[in-house]
Structure 1
Amino acid sequence: MSHRPFPGRRSVLRGSLAASAALTLPTALGAAPAFALSGRPKAGWGVQTGDVTTDSGLVWVRSDRPARMIVETSATESFRNPRRWHGQNLRAFNAQVPSIIQWDDHEVTNNWYPGEILGDSRYTEKNVDVLASRARQAFSEYYPISTLRRPDGRVYRTQHYGPLLDVFVLDMRTYRNANSPDNQTTDPVGILGREQLEWLKRELSRSRAVWKVIASDMPIGLVVPDAGDGKPNLEAVAQGDPGAPLGRELQIAELLRFIKHRRITGTVWLTADVHYTSAQHYQPSRAAFTDFEPFWEFVSGPLNAGGFPANALDNTFGPERVFLKAPTVANVSPAEGYQFFGEVDIDGDSGELTVRLREQDGTVLFTQVLQPGRVGQ
């Protein structure tokens, strides 16, 4: 648990901060579960404090049941006039901000695909399909996603937000083909699977929203390798060949062609996965495949994960990297920065869509304003 501000600098003795933690059963946060234990919560694993400075500190505690953590801080070891802090910034965030959740690889294991058999000796269960099934159950118990209650357990869905916005949430993990060099000239499965691709085309054509945001768990024109087994396999859509579409690019080409020919306007792609932030503009005049209308793709996240250098661009769909911020070395600790998130606002009067790419502290790094109904922006 992290809090700012703690007591002021003048009231803290040489940058040190005394702290104690207690646990209480949740009250207003909801009734205790049916399996609740009797008595007060216990923290048999102890309490840890770390990274204590003159104005902040980190406190961890683990209890034997759901509970609320209360932390008291004092400027002196005698704990005179302590200040009390109620736990879970995350809990407050989740209570105030509705979320649209989609899964990718790390909900199961790195870069997984259906039918994969792991060679990692650390896993006693090697069948990724079994691991994915277990992960899906845990995912549905942790996150409020109605589609996971369907018999097919699918994650892809459409979220409607009135006349200005529809969000199309993709699942580029469950229905994909195996990771490979991805240079085949025909690919019926691709990265979406045929059923999901047809659903997306149908839903886009039905949408009357001004903006149609495609929440894609993987980028379109960034080359994301999968070198886990020592082979030159690819993890996302692009495979580094700047020519005509191959492999998974064939599905994306089919989708982009459909959007153009059906005259579907207002599509914007939001994605993450690659551990930095950037903005790409896709333009047919720069591309090997030209049968599509220009569009934007904005990349940010994931939060609280190592930062990685920028991925190479694949010119099949003509991306231009308009903005980029990424570390120059791999797996930079979150404590060193390179943590990003994006913000999208739609003006209720003009219909303008504004994207801001921000750093962890909220600093705006890049802003792009898009006009409704305008092709080629």
Structure 2
Amino acid sequence: MPKLHSLSRRNVLIGGSALATTLAMPAISRAQSRPVFTHGVQSGDVDASSGMIWTRTDRPAKVMMEVATTESFSNARQLAPMNALPGSDMAIKRLVEGLPSDQDIFYRFTAMDLNDVNATSEPLVGRFRTAPGSRRSVKFAWSGDTAGQGWGINEDGMACYSTMASHQPDFFLHSGDTIYADGPLEDEVTDESGAVIWRNTVNTDAKRKVAETLDEYRGQWLYNMMDEHVLAMNAEVPTFFQWDDHEVINNWSSSRSIMEDERYSEKNIHVLAARAAQAFHEMAPIRYTPAEPGRVYRKISYGPMLDIFFLDLRSYRGPNTDNMQDELTDESRILGAEQMAWLKRELTNSRATWKVIASDMPIGLVVGGGAEAVANGDNGTAKGRELEIANLLRFIKAAEVKNTVWLTADVHYTAAHHYSPDRAQFQDFAPFWEFVSGPIHAGTFGPNDLDMTFGPEVRYVKAPEAGQVNLPPSAGLQFFGLVEIDGATEQLTVRLMDRANTELWATTLDPEHV
């Protein structure tokens, strides 16, 4: 794979010291003479000819944009400016199209104060690489779970982001729990003896309570983008986002009741979900879908060898029940009929060698006693939400969709699972792999029990010792995965990694051709 071009530190850090000032003093004075970019840059949803770019200003501003294939911007193309306004919390994002494939793309923002046209910011630069048009090797990282369980930004910051970035991946796939809107941070965390074991050296008003208002949900996202490791990776590595539950509230579904939760004055889950979704789409560089503007499920093609199918297991699910229904109904769905039809259609139409299914929850792990995810824990024939997954797996086999690999997070440890009909109660499917990673900066738990409906077998697992729960990031059990597809052989290699950059386990899969 071609070596990625590194931006100069000056350009990444907003033309000098402005970002450092933001980190030290999150509340930026309106009295400053020039606009400031408050939370760096992001890119995302990059394919062979386009990609999303994002930034945010400290005041209403007209943001000018340029893109180029050189860091000097000697061949820059001017884009139409956009207005950063209070209605979107001064955040802007746009889809940049007409880009050459397999090319380093540099983008530059400059902001002009709408109330003072003579006040112009220093420039802010980011980069990404477009997907290849031919078979060159591809590498990407994935993980999930950022700033959860009370572990925020301490003196070391979210260091696992730097470890990931050191591998120079083409992109980072964030598998969900991108924020913890229901997880307030204390300034200090103590152990049972009262000794301080963690200091959240950066904290904000938005993180001192559960998120309820739109601004509080926005603040959850802005908090994560105050971390120096996150900011540095965002400037050079595109992130492909999906969401899970903590973007709204733990174990969120449309039927979730919070009437007994005294932390919330807003008791309507639909109101909270709507505000959370708006903040998600404002703050993440995810593509806009005109037919369904809040849609999270989508497909990103990253060259001829890779299609990624991002699932949404939250927005269309039925209520959390015992998950033991004998028939597939709206109550027992987790994907929903429309998303399922889309997924089948897109898998069938895919001509990529590898079809990565990015799922925000695992298939065979029992979560929430069997009520929260797919597996219900009875180790029997498919019931409840397992019925929808059985339907999908049967379709993949019948349609001869080859080389599917599932990537997920959610359970806060890392594992490799192989699924086979030879071990399963439901047997009408072809064998496949599911790889689990995370957390990237949150408490570590697990491992969870496996449900044998689809015949999973643990090939590798690393989790806390028995009786240990919610271990801090400083314990070292923070995980991410690396996926590499070789351009010559089309083999796919998965490596499970930890924060110290130790390779814990790896496997190489050979592609199967029709």
Q: Same fold (TM over 0.5)?
A: yes
Shift of 1:60: 4.3
- Name which of 351, 358, 364 aligns with 1:215: 358
Aligned counterparts of 1:308 and 1:34: Cα–Cα separation in 2 = 47
- The amino acid across from 1:339 in the alignment is Q
Deviation at 1:51, TM superposition (A): 7.0
- 1:366 has 2:505 as partner: yes
Contact 2:110/2:120 (<8 A) preserved:
no
In 1, the alpha carbon distance for the partners of 2:501 and 2:484 equals 15
Corresponding letter in the other structure for 2:329: P
1:140 lines up with 2:268 in the alignment: no
User: Within 2, Cα distance between the matches of 1:348 and 1:137?
Assistant: 39
User: TM-score if structure 2 supplies the norm length?
Assistant: 0.57
| Of 458, 462, 487, the match for 1:321 | 458
1:89 maps to what in 2?
229
What SS class does the counterpart of residue 110 from structure 2 fall into? coil
Q: Does 1:194 align with 2:331?
A: no
Letter in 1 for 2:342: W
- Superposed counterparts of 1:1-377, under 5 Å: 26=36, 30-32=109-111, 34=113, 50=155, 60=202, 88-118=228-258, 119-147=260-288, 150-189=291-330, 190-225=333-368, 234-328=371-465, 329-373=468-512
Pick closer, same or farther for the CA change 1:324–1:36 going to 2, 3 Å.
Answer: farther
Would the alpha carbon gap of residues 148 and 111 (structure 1) be closer, same or farther in structure 2, given more than 3 Å must change?
A: farther
Deviations 1:116-160 (A, max 9, x none): 221311111112111111001000110011136654511000001
Amino acid at match of 1:122: R
Name the counterpart of 2:166.
none
In 2 relative to 1, CA 107–150 (structure 1 residues): closer, same or farther, beyond 3 Å?
A: farther
**Equivalent residue letter for 2:230:** L
8 Å contact from structure 2 (residues 281, 294) kept in 1? no
Structure-2 residue corresponding to 1:45: none
Asked whether the 8 Å contact 2:440–2:478 carries over to 1, the reply is: yes
Alpha-carbon contact 1:116-1:129 (below 8 Å) kept: no
Aligned counterpart, 2:130: none
Report if aligned partners of 2:493, 2:506 keep a CA contact under 8 Å in 1: yes
Any idea what the Cα deviations from partners look like across 1:56-101, whole Å, max 9, x if unmatched? x9964879xxxxxxxxxxxxxxxxxxxxxxx833222111111110
- Larger RCO, structures 1/2 (Cα 8 Å, 6+ apart): 2
Give aligned-pair identity as a percent.
52
Partner of 1:307: helix, strand, or coil? coil
Partners in 2 of 1:265 and 1:39 — Cα distance? Answer: 53
TM (normalized to structure 1)?
Answer: 0.77
Mapped to 2, the partners of 1:240 and 1:274 lie a distance apart of 15
Q: 1:331 offset after TM fit, Å?
A: 1.1
The one-letter code sitting in structure 2 at the alignment partner of 1:212 is K
The one-letter code matched in structure 1 to 2:243 is: W
Taking a change above 3 Å as real, the CA distance of residues 294 and 126 of structure 1, as seen in their structure-2 partners, is same
Cα distance, 1:277 vs. partner? 0.1
CA RMSD of superposed structures (Å): 3.1
List alignment gaps of at least 5 residues for structure 1: 1-19, 41-47, 64-86, 226-231
Larger radius of gyration: 1
Number of residue equivalences: 317
Question: In the alignment, residue 246 of structure 1 is paired with which amino acid?
Answer: K
Structure 1: distance between partners of 2:355 and 2:154: 45
Aligned to 2:212: none
